[in-house]
Structure 1
């Protein structure tokens, strides 16, 4: 997959089958679009492409919103390439770009710059300043501008349209299985193993502290059963997201206890897949109660994997 970070320097003339959007999560609804793009591209001798934005428009318009994302740029790139997309345009959501009207965006970017011949958009997609571009504008201008346009229907899950917002809401409630069903894959977080307070090792549960990208959405505070991937190994673990209230912690941390593992992995990249929610974050009266709960969690984790 070719990644184009600067539209100004893009000069390729190969016509495109393209879709526009954030594609945060590259969930089942997005995968429906990528499948259509690839099919159209193959049939019409085009190249498939996605035009997405960075930073997220909501972050630009509402900097106090503290929006967290389902994918880092690296993860989004990985998933789009996995689903066969040939070109990924990462457009900076600059002031000049976001002030383009829907019609200007269509003519200057899609037609003149990118040579789009087939455009596929989501059921609720709008574009351009003040959301002045929509499907009706595309339908009106398509014949004049020499491209075809189609709008895909929403994909439903449990009676609701699958969306990045729906998935974020599920994760914020600890519903990692439900989120995974909407994503089409198990939700994960990755990062470098960093030094923590090392309290876990004093109670028989040494943990790896994961330094997670600050824009990445973490599921609800609590304990989870997870797959662990580190040093080319696939391991079993139980993970905690929280502030360690039992020992008067204040800072949010992500810590994973890896079963049957005692290697030094400080500085290593680690990834965890969220399999099942165990329980909410708990403040215990003493370390003995904490250890008892960890023992119970370990038993549940071992039973899950067995």
Structure 2
């Protein structure tokens, strides 16, 4: 692993060969996202090509589309870690800017999928949209694929799995329900200085006491005024929230 993840198309090493691309927002790497990635990994093994999970930051809905809660379910570093644990060889993070939002779907395919990643296959969720005003979809990928040298694969959604649902479950305190969607406990990253200070975009449950798995064993932690407070050694750390106390 050369890096935690590639920052933009310029981060992809020169001479990068053919690859299978798992394309999506993947903002939580929940069980539905994992199904998309698993299909990409299977194709990668069949074709002898590395798998590149390609995602966006910030969430596209912060710039395009209707306003909604887009707080990250997982940090970029955690997403990359999870992607690799589920079989991705590399992770490409594209900055979702006004410029990218105005890029046509055809230009996105040409620049990112063809010239940068040299895709031999592109795997997405069946509802994934991309390009200016969301004009690109799986049907367009199938149409463009033959001339661009890749096959397009749409993976059906996993019922009851969405990042929106995870946000709702965590923010209402249902950590067990969130874990069922994620396929793992909800993780919060922070830096401890007597207490863990979490950024305002971190997804936290309501104020109260919670049971958590930490690098130092199981502990009780508390959420107060947007902070996660825990008796842990100072420094960067992460805790998995598993339930109420």
**Common fold by TM > 0.5:** yes
Q: Which residue of 2 aligns with 1:8?
A: 10
Q: Which residue of 2 aligns with 1:133?
A: 136
Q: CA RMSD in A?
A: 2.2
Cα distance, 1:103 vs. partner?
Answer: 1.4
* CA 1:136–1:66: 2 relative to 1, 3 Å: closer
Q: Which residue of 1 aligns with 2:228?
A: 254
> Does 2:220 correspond to 1:238?
yes
For structure 2, the residue ranges without an aligned partner over 5 or more in a row are: none
Cα distance, 1:257 vs. partner?
Answer: 5.3
> Does 2:186 correspond to 1:187?
yes
| Pairing 1:210-221 to 2, within 5 Å after superposition | 210-221=196-207
2:196/2:227 contact within 8 Å kept = yes
Q: Which residue of 1 aligns with 2:238?
A: 271
- Larger RCO (CA within 8 A; separation ≥ 6): 2
* CA 1:102–1:256: 2 relative to 1, 3 Å: same
Q: Partners in 2 of 1:173 and 1:69 — Cα distance?
A: 16
1:19/1:51 contact within 8 Å kept = yes
> Does 2:205 correspond to 1:223?
no
Q: Partners in 2 of 1:67 and 1:221 — Cα distance?
A: 20
1:223/1:277 contact within 8 Å kept = yes
| Pairing 1:163-174 to 2, within 5 Å after superposition | 163-174=162-173
| Pairing 1:1-306 to 2, within 5 Å after superposition | 1-2=1-2, 3-8=5-10, 10=12, 11-61=14-64, 67-156=70-159, 160=160, 162-195=161-194, 209-229=195-215, 233-234=216-217, 236-243=218-225, 252-256=226-230, 265=233, 267-278=234-245
1:72/1:215 contact within 8 Å kept = no
1:28/1:182 contact within 8 Å kept = yes
Q: Partners in 2 of 1:44 and 1:21 — Cα distance?
A: 21
